[in-house]
Structures are given as structure tokens and as C-alpha cells.
Structure 1
Amino acid sequence: MVLRAQRFVNSAYGERLIGMKVEEDGRTRWEVMHALTRALQYELGITPLSNSFGPTTLSTLQSRFPLLNATTVPNANFARLIQSALYCKGYDGGEIDGVYNPRVAAAVSRLKRDMGVDGVLPGGDLPPKVFKGLLTMDAYVTVNNGSDAIRGVQQWLNSRYLHRRDFFVIPCDGHNSRDVAKSFLFAIQYELGMADGTANGVFGPGTQAGLRSHPVGPGSQGIWVSLFSGAMVLNHRQAAFTSSFDGALADEARAFQSFVKLPVTGGGSFSTWASLLVSYGDQSRKGEACDGVTRITPARAAALKADGITIVGRYLTAVGNSLPEKVIQPGELRTIADSGMRCFPIYQTVGRNAAQYSYALGRAAGYAAMNAAMDHGFQNGARIFFAVDFDALDHEVTSNVLPHFKGVEDSMADAGNPYRVGVYGPRNVCTRVGAAGHSSASFVSDMSSGFSGNYGYPLPPDWAYDQFVTRWVGSGDGRIEIDNNIVSGRDLGENTFNPPRAQRPDTALHASLHASMLVDVNKYMQSIGFSESSPVRFFSHAECFQQVMVDGDAVITEVSNRYDMRKALVQTSTYWEMRHIGIEDRLQDDRVVLYHSGLPGGIRDSSTGIAQITGNAGLRAWNHCIGKGYVSGTVRDPDHDPDLYAVWNQVRDPSFALRTVALIHLWDAEGKPGGNNPPGGETVMRPMALDYNDQEIFQVLRRYQGWGEEAETHARQRMGLYYLCEKYNGISRNM
């Protein structure tokens, strides 16, 4: 019947009348609902058409057809739209024959009963707000293990407030959500006496002031108890939805207050209301922990201590250079410990969208965080909170975030689990990562109350820190801006640290590390799809490792020291390219030889050698570095075939190739002048340095390959290899 509905909307309307055609597959989805909505707008004479059942559609329907039934439906196609929508929603719409018959009326009655509005809108007539709900993907029966208790609250909200102007039918699927949570705030505002147009579903000053004057507790009766118990139900508390504040509700209120670390009173105080209604709760509270992007000096430490702060969260690495004190500064951990406070480490990269989370990037993050934690002096057993600092939708948590944390977990396990894994992010992210077993505690970004992962989700059961407000502390030299956090006690940070590892130049890779590094690199490459050996690739993992990490170590160490460049950059780019060499690369090399021998079928240039460098890129990188005085040599003409071919042959030599990789990285960091740049060219980076941050490392690795989606994807994968190399280089330079 859904297939018949799809065929109807395509044949009766389609591209010609509503500007879209749906796939005819018998499956309900938003595309089908949008097509039906546009068809309804066409029948109502609304222009332009929209996928949204917005105010214009609703007001037009209300004015022309306040009740749709057998006598008021204007034409057969209009009736067929209703019948089609019913089938797409899972109700019996009759034969899609254009008749609002008793079967249709019975289906509408059932729909309204499921919505909870049959008491206020009885019978089989279809009113505009119910029609609006019909054209959504919301469910009005429990789905996906939904809670019957939550569904009861949803139905009650619909029945009590649907007559209000800005309240629309909410799902009755047994799950709290953004729409349900916002509608519950509308309910609070309506009961506070706010008029239509004033009530807005926002937890603003007026709503907060009203709630302060409506405490509830044992013995209370009426609507405010209903709202309080309903809020408890929506927060997955084991409370009954009731209008009488009995002992059972008081017990559950005490349990909730204890869980979120509020004064345990058993009543509905303002702070309790706030924690039930919005993720950040009562922002007038004071927490015992904080995190921030500012160095903790002795004066700031004293100010924090005086304000009741005992635990400070600080960042292991910096993403860019705009916040120079965001990363833990030299001597800072000692200052924190000497003041009597403790510190928990946070690892964050850019991480502003789902594409920046994957299994490979999770492995890279794990290696990077371990290296940084050891650099700063965090001892084994510390918990590192890995950040998910964006509004991750639930399907993105499934597709990207969970694999990312599996990568973090696996990298930590491969290293012998020196540190514990925590997660920082919205409530849904933290809950799901913890439930999957990838983290042991959550640092919840509850200040981001508009995030879909916070709106309507309860506080994760394993929460350690609840970030709820930004404020200033102290004065004068001690003045500092912090994000204040409530502490559950599941994590208390660290107060004992090893001496920090200095930013020393790289040394030769110690022979005792070869075997374990070989195993780790092989594990990582296999985890992202590279088997030990492959019929389509010429070199096995062991061969690449021997050529680059062992045989090439002296040259790589030399160029690293000369150019203030981490060895891992040269190791990563070369190893990655060598592992990719296949038959097509050899065929291209043969064609270059043909070209420069004057024979047919040739090409002028190709990527060649263990580092897959083109003659053009090698020549231009050498020219640039000769001009900068980084290296001596003869400047050559990239348009002159003999010059190009000479460099092409040189980069086929492994030693020359490794030196050239370093020069290409220098050239890349300085914007690749004269190179084959993307539109607008490459930006000039900070001069090459041993303390390049994650984003700078990513840029160097990406630029080596070029630009575009493939280069971006490969660079994300190479980040894990980079940090594995850096792990062993770090051990060597500190032995």
C-alpha cells in the first residue's frame, strides 16, 4: 500500500506539479512525507511549495478545512493524499480510491487515540494539527524498545496542550527527544500563565523565576506534581506519572538528586527542576572542578582554590596557535600539584564534524594522546578524556564516533593500556561510547544545551564531570575564565607526575625497538586494510619497514636534525608511499623511460621510487630549498626535459628520495611556491619545528600527497602511522 501511495503521488503530481518524484520502493521515509506535504500545498493553492508543513500550510488548512471528513474533503485527490499518508504512517487508509469512507474515519480515530488526543478531538474527522502530525516520520506507538511510561507522558502532553497555538502533536514513541523536551518546556510555561506568543520553549529568566515559586514535595497535589513526575519519567527515573507527591516519588527524587549531586531533599526544588528540564541545570551552583584554556599560574591556582576548585582539566595538545595557553605549559602540572589541586588530561583535535572521526583517526588519537601524556609527565593509570566537541547526531555516533573510540581503545590496548580512556562530549555520545565499552567515564559537555545529543537525553550513568557554566574567578593576576564542572567522584584527576619529557631532537632509532615497532606498525596498517603482503602491491610490510625505518634511519635522523623536523614526518610519508607501490606504478615508470628515450607510448613524468616522488615535485622542492639556503645544489628548469629526467632518476635512489621527502615537507610548509597548488594556493605554515601540533602535522602529510578528498582521507589514516613512529622515536630520544 505504501508502494501504491508512492505511485499515486508520482502520477498525480510528480515533477510537473510539485517538483519532485519519489522512489517507488514501498518504504516510508522523509522524502515520501515531503512529497505528500508539497502535494497538499498544491491542492491548497500555496506557492512556493515547501517540504515543510509550516505556518502558512497550517493556517490555510485551518481557515479552509478546520475539519476534514466525508463531506468536507474537496476532491478525490485530496482524499487520496490522506489515504496515502495513513498508509505511510501504518494505518488503514482504505483503497486509495479518493473516498473518505468509514475505514479512513476509523483509521483517523485510531491515529488520534495513539496520539492521546481522542479525548479532546473525538471521532473520525481530521483536524489540521493532526494532519500535520500525520505528515511527519514521528511514531505514535512505542518503537525501538520505547518506554510505555514515557509514551504516557507524551500522550498526556498532547491531550492537554494541543489547543495552544504553538504546541503541535509530539511523538508518542516512548523516547524523550528534542521535540518532546522543548514541548515539555512549553507545558511549564503554559502552566505559569504565559500567553501564546510569549511561551517559547526556552528555559529563560521568566521560566526560571516561575519555577522558583513552584516547589513541590511530599503531600503536594495537582498539575505541578504531574509536571514534576512527568519530568522524572522523561529522565528515565523509576517514578510513576502522578499528580500526588507520595513517598515513592520522594524516594525517587532523592535518588535523582544524589545521582546529579544536588542537595538530597526528596522535594522538587528549583535546582531539581532545572536538572530535569535542561542539560546545564541550575547555573548558579558551584562545582569543585573546572577546565579551561588558560595556564594555571600560582596566583590563578590560589584563586581557584579559594573558590572551592580542587580539580582542573587541561589539554594535552594544541590544535592551532590561536590559544597559546590551551595546552599544558611547562611547569604547570607542578604548580597545580603544589597548590593541592589535581589535574585530569583532555585530548582534543579539531573534531568539528563527523568526518573527523573514524577508526583510523581513533587509533591516531590514542597514540598521540599517549605520547603527549608521557611528554607532560602523566603517570600510568591516568584517565584521558577524548573529545567529541560537535553536535553528533545519533546515526553519526554509530557510523563515526563509535569506530573512532574503538580505535582509541585498540591503540591503548596495543600499548599495554598505560592510560584509561574517558570521553568528553554530549550526553548521547558519552552514554553510547560508555555502553559500547570503549570508555570508563564521561566528561559531559552539558553547557551545549542545544546539541541534539543533550536535548532530551539523561545524564550518562558513568558521568565523572558535568560541565555546566562558564564564569570568571579571582581578580588581578589571579583572574581566570573557567568552565565550571560538577564532580561525581568517578574520576579525581592526578596529583603526582613524572618529570616532563623535553622536546629533544630525534636520535637514531634504537635497535632494541625494531621488533616491537615492526609489530605495532603492522597491526595498525592491517587495521586500516593493509595486509602483511598483497598480490597487488610490490612490497610487504616487513620490506617497507626494513627499507625505511632501519636502512634509511641514518639519513632520516640527519635531515631531521638539520631541519628541525620530526623523523616521523619523513618515515610516515615514505613508508606510506612504498606500501602503495603496485604494478601500475611500475608500468608508469616504464613509460617515462620510453618518453625520454624518444620512443612512442611514453609519458613525461610519474611518481617513482620508494617515496613515489615525481620528477617535477622533486625538482621544484630542491629549487625552493636551494633558494632558501637549506641545501646546496644546482637550480634546474622544470620545463627542460633533461633536467626533469635527471631528477626523476635521482629520486629513484632510496637515500636521495629520503632527503627529498624532507625538502618536499619544507616546501609544503612554506606554501609550495611554484608548485601544482589547489585553487588559491596553499597557505604558508609556521616554520618547521619539533613541536608541530596535530593540525600542522596533518597539513604536512596531506600536502605531500596533494589536495582533494583522497589526500584528506589518506592524511587522516597516516596520522596514526605518524604517532606510532613518534612513539618509538620518543622512546629512543629519551633512552
Structure 2
Amino acid sequence: MADEMVRRAQRFVNDVYGSRIGMTVEEDGLTKWEVMYALTRALQSELGISPVSNSFGPTTLATLTARYPKLNFGTMPSADFCRIIQSALYCKGYDGDGINGAYGPRVQAAVTKLKEDMGVGTVFPGSDLTPKVFKGLLTMDAYVPVGSGSATVREIQQWLNGRYIGRRDFFVIPCDGHHSRDVAKSVLFAIQYELGMADGTANGVFGPGTQAGLKQHTVSLGSTGIWVWLFSAALALNKRPVDFTGTFDSSVGSAVRAFQSFAKLAVTGDGDFATWASLLISYGDQTRGGEACDGVTKITDARAATLKAQGIKYVGRYLTALSTSTLPEKPIQPGELQTIAANGLRCFPIYQTVGRDADSFKYAAGRAAGDAAVNAAQHHGFKNGTRIFFAVDFDALDGEVTSNVLPHFKGIVDSLAVLGNPYLVGVYGPRNVCSRVAAAGYSTASFVSDMSSGFSGNLGYALPEDWAYDQIVTRTIGSGDGRIDVDVDIASGRDTGQNSFDPPRDVVPDTRLATDLYPALELDVGKYMESIGFPNNGGTRNFTHWKCLQTTVWDHDDVITELSNRYSMRKSLIQASAYWEMRHWDAADDAVDLLVEGYHNRPPGVPPPANVPRDSSTGIAQIFGVTAIRAWNHCIAKGVATGTIRDTADDDDVYAAWRQVKDEDYALRTVAMIHIWGADGKPGGQNSPDGETVLRPIAWDYTDWEIFQILRRYQGWGAEAEEHAGKRMVLYQILENYNSISRHR
């Protein structure tokens, strides 16, 4: 809700400092980081710091400390300086006395209350505004309970501030009742200070010195003092039902045993090093052995023996890979699952594509991932009921989880539901990702990427309640033929993988699409296209969903099957490209086609009208005449097609090709030519600004990445082509599911 005093603060910083600090803020009455950044820049301007920045960093703090170690009525340098403070107070929800430029009684009371809420009122008594408090004032941190904030957590936050604010590298942390990255790091600082580390040595990192020190500070029943205070704080921050206390009593012991059992630690009831480590850092004690592992290396008999000797029971392996040259053994290899089972191990499957940033995650991509994972799992022989862990392998911020990751998993769930839920959905990722996907109802168990301890989604978040595997360290184990690199995973028992598999599907040519699959295919494609804004009745486009499917899939199935077998090209590549383009055909395309007809059929000797095109994307596959010429010329020269070489500079040749691609049969053949041309990098064409890389020849075992590239190259390059290729990937995977059923009957 907009606040009028915040709006006045925004107006003040814009009017007085906008031209001096290089930014203005929207005057909407809403507190946000942009406002705090502007106030920080205004403060730097008053201190004479240049250039100004959004960061209240060491230079700002040192300059402020040197000039104004205590800001009060007598030391306030100017009215505008005071207005910066008053504006920040209003943004924090405190009384700024009308932003009148005077450090009067109301402002003094507000600053006193602010320090009390921070927990530093005893350290900094009175109404003086000290530099570290000023730094905390210019953040979005809250110092009062927020939402469902825990009173115990807030007590811990205030205690940490009050006890350690005097140390050089310790700054005010939020006191909102919620665990966070800053709070987690502050606990590590506190431990290092109590271990006797000097300023400059203490760094908030769980390093060798901190670990060695904690090994000397086991706490147990009857212990009292600072180490119990810190240990109970760590328990509470990990959502254990315990009071913040300095006495290790029976209730603390019960909480410890429950946590140890939950985290699969030795249940001793003591605050030993392994328990400290699991409470303080996501990966915990990395010397632990795990009953599970995952890796990018094929499991052979010798490697299986190594794993068993290490006590490993469950092995995570990847269903697919982006490339056949990089990490060639990353995807499950032929015969590997049988080797795993024969050696008494069990396998849990992981599905991962690019997934390294938020843009890779959206609803359409989730639909594609669901279909692709099912196809791959069935290809390898995983039986129904297996849990597939879908990877989110990047540091997703909480807002990105909301905007990208959750819709992506909704797409996965929807995809599997359409297919009859043959597999369970699991999630691999940081703690916050796993917990939120589970809370949304989109996963049944979590595989936690806890090795990435610095991820914002790990530090400050508790281990998810539904965790199945907890990835803690990479190790090289074994020797000779049994040597293997693995990520060691702790197993909770919620998932145990599989040790019995159906016979793997061979990579075989496509066949005609079974007619009994038509109704289900029509339904699934229609549902997907409607989900991305294409109504089945065609809407503003020329053709209905049914007409497009009939034309590009059913009526020409013989031609598409022939092309597929001739070029080892999955039928779905041809079908997806043609169907997608036909669904986009609209009146604007018809209008441009008429102009092209006019260009080529003008009276002899009449020059072409200005700005009238000689070419356009036309026909069911929306192909330019020039594109058809380039693709066919390439394939004819390569020896994979026959025909006459044409000249893209010759109007008659362009018109002849343009008219040919209006024929449905020829258009579908041209789609195949364009795909072959695209895989070869589009030589002789108008490539992307950086040029198109040459892919391996099109094959039935193309990876997801290669398929994406072919679909994207059909359209061109740039943001729109990337976006459409992502959506066409879903279409491809739906079509591939039904083509796969047909060819494996």
C-alpha cells in the first residue's frame, strides 16, 4: 500500500539530489531498494564521495565514521542531511517528523526505537545515530516481526546484533523473525569471534579454522554458557522446536536427537561436530560417507564394485545429455542399468537440460521437459512409478522461483498428467527451490544440491522436509578400472531408485503413425496449444487445430515417414515445424502473398513498385522462396537430394520456388531440406551475426540441445526465434511421444 510520507521522501530525494546522484525514483509511495539506493547516494553526495553508488560499502562507512561518529541535534551537518535520515525512517516505518530537516524529539524517539528493535539499544544508548545503525537504516531489512516471523528467531537476531555489533566486520542483521543468508553468516561470525579469531581473520566462512575450533566445543546434557547459546540458536534457525537458551537441558537433547535422525546423522543427543556442521552449512560434515551418489560416468562392473565397497546403494544417472561429445558418458549408456542391477545397486534417474539461468525455466519448457523425460525414461526401460528428479541447477533467487521455476514444474506436472502419470516428479536444486516446489504440490521428493553452500537458496534455509538425497561432496574413489568420480549423497530412504528395468528400447526408424493414436494426439497437442494462447478453433488465425494436425501429420504421413527414414530424421522434427508454422498462418500472410504475386505478374517492362516484396514466407510450412532455394541447392550439392540448382538472385527462380512451397507435399520435403541445411550451419545462407555452428549430421538419436538448435534455426536467430523454439520443443516432445509408441509396437 502506498504511503504518503514515503512519497514525500521520494519527492525530496528526486528534487534535491536527482541531478547529483544520477538517478531518480518513481514517486509511488512504496518502499523499495531503488529508494534506499537513492538515499545512499544522497548520503555519499553529502559526504563528498565520488563517484556515488548504490552500495553503503567500506568507503561510505569509513567516511561517515571519521566525520560523524555520532549524529544528533548538535552534530547534524545540514537540514538536507537530516532529511535523508528522516526519509529513511519513514521508509522503515518510523516517524520522520514530516521530513522538516530538524533532528527533534520525534526523530530522536524514532532512532531510539529503531536501535531497540535492532537489539543494539544497550550498546548504543540514547538517540544518537551511529554509522552502523545508519547503514542498517538504508537497507530493506526489517527490524520488527514480519508475517509469520518466529519470536525465537527474532530474539536470536537481536541477541547477535547486541553482542557482536562492536566487531569490525559485523553489521546489523534483520530482526524480522525469519532465517536468511545474512543471519546464517552472522552465526558463523559469532562462532569465529567466540573461538578467539581477530577482526580480519573472522570472515563468516565455514573454513578449516572454524571446523577445527568446533571440534573442541561439543555440547551435551548439562552444558551451559555461550556455546549452548550458539548451538540452540543454530537449532532454532533450522526450524527445530527449541528455546534460545544457554542451558543444554532435556528439551534441547530431544531436539538434537530429532534433528540428527532427520538429517541421517549418528543419533547421540550431543552437539558434536557433525551436528554443528549440518546446522551451520548446507553440506555439513563432508567427511561423512553416503549411501547414494550421482555422477556423469558409466557404471561398469569394476566401478560398481568400488561403489559397493564404499557402502553406496543408490546411484543417480542422467536420462539425457545436451551433447554427445561433451561428457560422453553423462547419459545412461547401453546396458548400464542392467549392470547396476546385476551388481546389487539401484538407480534413480535425473533429467537435466541447460537449466543454468532463470530464462531456461518457464511453463512451456516444463511441458517439454516432462515429455522428454518420459520418452527418455521409457527408452532406457524405467518402469512406471519411478521418480524422476528434474534439475534446477542454478542459484535461483526467491523471486525467480516464483516467476520461472514454479510455472516450469507446473508444466512438468501437466505433461505427466496428460501421459497418465507414468512417473513421479522429484526436484533437484537448492533448498529453497526444493521446499517451494514441494509446497506448491509439484514434487514428491527432493534431491538437494547442498554442495553449493554459497547459493542464496541454500544459505539460511533448512533442509527440506521431503529430502530424499542430500548432495554433500565430490570424491574420486577406487583405482584402476574401478576408479570413478562421484558426488556423494546422503540418502534418507524416501526414494530408493529402481533395480528392475524393462528391456531398453532400441534406436529404430520411425514408422507410420498408428491411427488409433490420432484422438489422443489431437487432444494433447490441442491442450498444449491452447495453454500458450492458440485456441483450437483457430481464433484470429486461418486454420483450426484439427485442420493443421490433419494437414501436417495425418494426411502426409507416408511422405513424412519416407523422409524420416531416408535422412535418419525424426518425423517429429518435420511435423513440429510444419504444424507450428501452419497454426501461425493468418490474414497478414495472405496479404503479403498477394503483393508477391503482383510483383512477379506485373506487365512486361514495368519496373517493380517501390517497397513491394518479391518473396514471402508462404504455404503450410511458411517458407520463403529464397530459403527453399538455398536449402535445396545445399542438399543437391551434398548429394542427398536431386533437382535443379537455382539462383536466389533470379526473380524467375525465386518465384518458381515460392510457388512450389505452396504445394503441401513439396513444402514438407522442403522442411526436411531446411533441417539438413540448418544442421550443416546454413552454408551460403544469411547466417546469424556470429554464424551458425555446424552440428553433427541429423540422426535419430539427436540430443535435446541438437533438436532445439534445429527447431530454432528453422525460424532464424534472435530472441523471438529462441522463444518460439522453446515452445516448439514442447510440441516436438508431444509428437515424439506418439511417434515413439508407434515405432515400438
Q: TM-score, normalised by structure 2?
A: 0.98
1:517-596 mapped onto 2 (5 Å cutoff)? 517-596=521-600
More displaced stretch, 126-135 vs 519-528: 519-528
SS in 2 for 1:345: strand
Task: Report what 1:702 is aligned to.
Answer: 712
- Paired with 1:11 and 1:379, the residues of 2 have a C-alpha distance of 67
Structure-2 separation of matches of 1:351 and 1:173: 33
Other-structure match for 1:113:
116
The one of 15, 23, 27 aligned to 1:24: 27
Give the structure 2 partner of residue 215 of structure 1: 218
2:489 alignment partner in structure 1: 485
Shift of 1:524: 1.3
Q: Which runs of 5+ in 2 are unaligned?
A: 604-608
* 1:483-514 deviation per Cα after TM superposition (whole angstroms, max 9, x unaligned): 00001000000000000000001111111111
1:620 paired to 2:630: yes
- Aligned to 2:202, what secondary structure does the other structure show? coil
Match of 2:312, as an amino acid?
I
8 A contact 1:215–1:269 mirrored in 2:
yes
Question: 1:668 is matched with which residue?
Answer: 678
Q: Distance in 1 between matches of 2:697 and 2:143?
A: 60
SS of 2:655's partner is helix
Q: Deviations over 1:121-180 (max 9, x none)?
A: 111110000000000011111113211111111110000000000000001111111111
**1:309 matched to which residue of 2?**
312
How far, CA to CA, are the matches of 2:538 and 2:320 in structure 1? 36
1:84 aligns with 2:93: no
Q: Which residue type is aligned with residue 47 of structure 2?
A: L
Cα distance in 2 for partners of 1:264, 1:435 equals 28
**What amino acid is the match of 1:714?**
H
Q: Bigger CA drift: 44-53 or 662-671?
A: 44-53
Give the match for residue 171 of structure 2: 168
Q: What is the distance in 2 between the residues matched to 1:552 and 1:108?
A: 77
1:609 corresponds to? 619
Structure 2 counterpart of 1:470, one-letter code: T
5 Å matches for 1:133-144?
A: 133-144=136-147
Q: 2:516 aligns with which of 504, 512, 516?
A: 512
Match of 1:682 among 687, 692, 698: 692
Mapped to 1, the partners of 2:83 and 2:373 lie a distance apart of 59
SS of the residue aligned with 1:514? helix
Provide the secondary structure at the position in 1 that maps to 2:410.
helix
- 1:485 aligns to what SS in structure 2? strand
Separation (CA, whole Å) in 1 of partners of 2:523 and 2:26: 49
Indicate whether 1:718 and 2:733 are aligned.
no
Q: Distance in 2 between matches of 1:141 and 1:651?
A: 68
**One-letter amino acid of the structure 2 residue matched with residue 266 of structure 1:** G
The CA deviation at 1:668 is 0.5
Q: Distance in 2 between matches of 1:154 and 1:605?
A: 68
Q: Is the 8 A contact 1:384 1:422 kept in 2?
A: yes
**Residue deviations 1:626-650 (CA, integer Å, cap 9, x gap):** 1100101110000100000000000
Contact 1:68 1:125 in 2 (8 A): yes
- TM-superposed CA distance for 1:23, in Å, is 1.4
| Between 27-36 and 569-578, the greater mean CA deviation after superposition | 27-36
Question: 1:422 aligned to 2:426?
Answer: yes
Output the amino acid matched with 1:630: V
Which sits farther off after the overlay, 291-300 or 674-683?
674-683
Partner Cα distance (2:445, 2:488) in 1: 18
CA distance in 1, matches of 2:185, 2:359: 29
Question: Using the alignment, how far apart are the partners of 1:675 and 1:124 within structure 2?
Answer: 72
Matched, 1:13 2:13: no
> Once the 2 structures are TM-superposed, how far is the Cα of residue 533 of structure 1 from its aligned partner?
1.4
1:197 corresponds to 2:195: no
Distance in 1 (CA, whole Å) between partners of 2:207 and 2:199 is: 16
The answer to whether the 8 A contact 2:388-2:424 is kept is yes
1:266 partnered with 2:276: no
Give CA-to-partner distance per residue, 1:18-56, whole Å, 9 cap, x none: 111111111111111111111111111111111110111
Structure 1 residue aligned with 2:656: 646
1:517-566 superposed Cα distances (whole Å, 9 cap, x missing partner): 11111111112221111341111010011111111111111111111111
1:440 to 2:440 alignment? no
1:382 paired residue number = 386
| Whole-angstrom distance in 1 between the partners of 2:15 and 2:539 | 52
Aligned amino acid, residue 612 of structure 1: Q
The one-letter code matched in structure 1 to 2:680 is E
Distance 1:419 1:684 in 2: 36
Name the structure 2 match of 1:395. Answer: 399
TM-fit CA distance, 1:602: 3.6
TM alignment of 1:227-242, pairs within 5 A: 227-242=230-245
Q: What is the distance in 1 between the residues matched to 2:140 and 2:125? A: 23
Q: Secondary structure of the residue that 2:396 maps to in structure 1? A: coil
Whether contact under 8 Å (2:538, 2:583) holds in the other structure is no
Kindly provide the CA deviation profile for residues 390-413 of structure 1, in whole angstroms up to 9, marking residues without a partner as x. 000000000010011011011111
* Separation in 2, partners of 1:99, 1:721: 65
- Which is worse superposed, 209-218 or 40-49? 40-49
How many Å separate the matches in 1 of 2:176 and 2:426? 31
Q: How does 1:242-261 map to 2 (within 5 A)?
A: 242-261=245-264
Aligned residues: 734
Q: CA deviation at 1:585?
A: 0.6
Separation in 2, partners of 1:250, 1:426: 29
**Match of 1:494, SS?**
coil
CA deviation map 1:54-99 (0-9, x unaligned)? 1111011111111000000111111111111111111001121111
Match of 1:497 in 2: 501
SS of residue in 2 equivalent to 1:667: helix
- Tell me which moved more, 279-288 or 511-520: 511-520
SS of the residue 2:525 aligns to: helix
The 5-angstrom pairing of residues 38-53 of structure 1 reads 38-53=41-56
1:696-728: CA deviations, max 9, x gaps? 100000000111111111110111110111111
Matches within 5 A, 1:625-640: 625-640=635-650
Q: Is 1:186–1:199's contact at 8 Å kept on the other side of the alignment?
A: yes
- 8 Å CA contact retained: 1:344, 1:494: yes
User: Which secondary structure does the structure 2 equivalent of 1:364 belong to?
Assistant: helix
The residue type paired with residue 55 of structure 1 is P
Judge conservation of contact 1:343–1:493 (CA < 8 Å) in 2: yes
Q: Does the CA contact (< 8 Å) of 2:538 and 2:545 recur in 1?
A: no
Deviation at 1:13, TM superposition (A): 1.3
- Match of 1:457, as an amino acid? Y
Q: Which residue of 1 aligns with 2:737?
A: 727
TM-score by length of 1: 0.99
Range 4-13 or range 110-119, more displaced? 4-13
CA distance in structure 1 between the aligned counterparts of 2:8 and 2:441, rounded to whole angstroms: 45
Distance 2:588 2:333 in 1: 49
State the identity as a percent: 68
Q: CA deviation at 1:207?
A: 0.2
User: Contact between 1:428 and 1:453, CA under 8 Å: does it hold in 2?
Assistant: yes
C-alpha distance in 1 between matches for 2:586 and 2:498: 49
More divergent stretch after superposition (59-68 vs 159-168)? 59-68
The answer to whether the 8 Å contact 1:594/1:603 transfers is: no
Amino acid in structure 2 at the alignment position of 1:582: D
* 8 Å contact kept, 2:61–2:135: yes
